A and B are shown apart, each in its own frame.
Chain A
Amino acid sequence: GIQVEQSPPDLILQEGANSTLRCNFSDSVNNLQWFHQNPWGQLINLFYIPSGTKQNGRLSATTVATERYSLLYISSSQTTDSGVYFCAITDGSSNTGKLIFGQGTTLQVKP
């Protein structure tokens, strides 16, 4: 089946720093979403981005579907950005809509 790999697995930043999280996938996708899981476990939708570039405040994301990767950029990080960031995709050969999650990147932003 399709594989989703995220890097780095862990990231520690000083408040105010910028970072780039990467998501590689092994086959074509219909859907790609980025989530932030907060300390209480809630998954917050960041981007729905099967292709192209989007920006929302200090966050932006780019998906290059032909090269099978997506990047999440966090600028001027804040302590509230801490948590786990997941990339999830739906297989391009399937119409079930099932999301396949990467293992996540755990981000810690220090004050």
Chain B
Amino acid sequence: GAVVSQHPSWVICKSGTSVKIECRSLDFQATTMFWYRQFPKQSLMLMATSNEGSKATYEQGVEKDKFLINHASLTLSTLTVTSAHPEDSSFYICSARLTRSSYNEQFFGPGTRLTVL
């Protein structure tokens, strides 16, 4: 159990276009999902916390107008990279938090590799 999917797995787009990435928890409900960014040979960097039914909380230095997050249901969060530029090229990974009582584990999607030309 505890499977998280992401779509698309990779995307190539032209500079100036917008790209939407979907993150779904397939077999559990997640009131909280997280979006991370990872550059080659580096660790994961948290971008934002996505809360179902409310606004996302962004980490310091992350542009909320560039990275739009919508968590419209208990199984779906979306990240839209608006007006993408080459420096936005990266590996984007989402996670969903499975919470039961004091148990609080995160499960990760397979990631989306974004290349902006």
Q: Which residue numbers of A lie inside 8 Å of B, CB to CB?
A: 30-31, 33, 35, 40-43, 45, 48, 86, 88, 90, 96-104
Interface status of B110 (Cβ within 8 A of chain A): yes
Q: Tell me the number of A-to-B contacts counted with CB atoms below 8 Å.
A: 54
**Shortest Cβ gap from B20 to chain A (Å):** 19
CB pair A98 B113 closer than 8 Å: no
* A43 and B93 contact, CB distance less than 8 A: yes
**Residues of chain B lying within 8 A (CB to CB) of residue A97:** 32, 34, 49, 97, 99, 104, 106
B94-117 vs A, CB cutoff 8 Å, 1 = contact: the mask equals 010101000111111011010000
| Secondary structure call for the A interface | strand
B11 CB–A CB distance under 8 Å: no
- A103–B43 touching, CB < 8 Å: yes
Given contacts A41-B110, A42-B108, A99-B34, 17 further A-B contacts (CB under 8 A): A31-B104, A41-B111, A42-B110, A42-B111, A43-B44, A43-B93, A43-B95, A43-B108, A45-B107, A90-B104, A96-B57, A97-B49, A97-B97, A98-B34, A99-B106, A101-B43, A103-B43
Would A48 and B108 be within 8 Å (CB), given that A97-B32, A99-B46, A101-B43 are in contact?
Answer: no
Smallest Cβ-Cβ distance to B45: which chain A residue: A101
Distance in angstroms from A64 CB to nearest chain B CB is: 19
Interface centre among A41, A45, A88, A102 (most CB of B within 10 A): A41
B91 within 8 Å of A by Cβ? yes
Residues of B within 8 A of A90 (CB): 104
With both beta carbons as reference points, the residue of chain A lying nearest to B106 in the complex is identified as: A99
**Docked pose: A42 CA to B104 CA in angstroms:** 20
CA distance A48 to B105 in the complex (A): 7
Give every chain B residue within 8 A of A30 (Cβ-Cβ). Answer: 104
Q: How far is the CA of A100 from the CA of B44 in the complex (A)?
A: 8
- Closest Cβ of chain A to B96, distance in Å, is 11
6 A-B residue pairs with CB within 8 Å: A31-B105, A33-B105, A41-B113, A43-B44, A97-B97, A97-B106
Partner among A41, A45, A103 whose Cβ is within 8 Å of the Cβ of B105: A45
